[in-house]
A = this chain, B = another copy of it.
C-alpha cells in the first residue's frame, strides 16, 4: 500500500492535497465502517497518508469527524422561490432526493444521526444543522404559501419538515427502495395535501408553539 516510486516529500507547509485526501478518505471510511468502527489508521491507509499527517491537522478522531461533517452539514440549502407551494415542495424533494441519492450520503447520514443520539458533540453539530434545516423549510416554504394564500394563516411550520422530508427519507434511507424521478411529482402532491390538512386542523388541535 506504500508508494513504490519515491513519494514526493513535503515542505514546511501543510499540503492541501493531503488534507483533501484525508477528508475524502474519511467520508469513504465513514460509509464503509460507520462512526463506531471508524479508525484513524484506516483513514490514513485509505488516503495513502501517514497517521502523523492526520494528527498534525486534527487532534483526535472526534475532532476530525466534527470538522469534516460540520463543513458538509453547514451548507445551507438554497430554497428558491418557484412561485407555488407545489413547485417549492417539488424542488425541495428534488434536492433531498439528490442528496440522499449519493451512496456515501445515504450511508453516512443515518449512521451519524444514530450516533448523534449518544454523542453530545455530534448531536450538537448535526442536530443543530438539522434544526436549521427544518426551520428553514417551515418558515420559508410554509411562510410563502401562507402569504400566497395557499395555506391558512397560523399554519404550523413545525409539521412541514415531517410531512415533506419524512416520506422521502424513509423511502431512500430506511427502506432503501430507489425513487424514480417520475414519482417525485406524486410525492410532492401528496405532501402538499398532507400539509393542507395538517394546517387546517391546527385551529382545533393543540397548538404546540414550542419550537
Contacts and interface: CB of A to CB of B under 8 A. Distances in A.
A93 to B, nearest CB: 12
Contacts of A175: 130-131, 134, 161-162
A69 B158 CA distance: 33
Interface string A165-178: 11111110011110
Nearest to A191: B194
A170 B180 contact: no
A120 to B, nearest CB: 13
Contact of A114 (B110, B183, B190): B110
A40 interface: no
Contacts of A191: 194
A182 interface: yes
Cβ-closest 7 pairs across A and B: A36-B36, A166-B170, A166-B167, A190-B194, A166-B166, A194-B194, A193-B197
Interface of A: 31-37, 106-107, 110-111, 113-115, 117-118, 127, 130-131, 134, 158-159, 161-163, 165-171, 174-177, 180, 182-183, 185-187, 189-198, 201-202, 205-206, 208
28 contacts: A32-B118, A34-B35, A34-B114, A106-B117, A107-B114, A110-B110, A110-B117, A113-B114, A114-B114, A130-B174, A131-B175, A158-B177, A159-B190, A161-B175, A162-B187, A165-B170, A166-B166, A166-B169, A167-B194, A170-B170, A180-B208, A183-B206, A185-B205, A186-B205, A189-B201, A190-B197, A190-B201, A193-B193
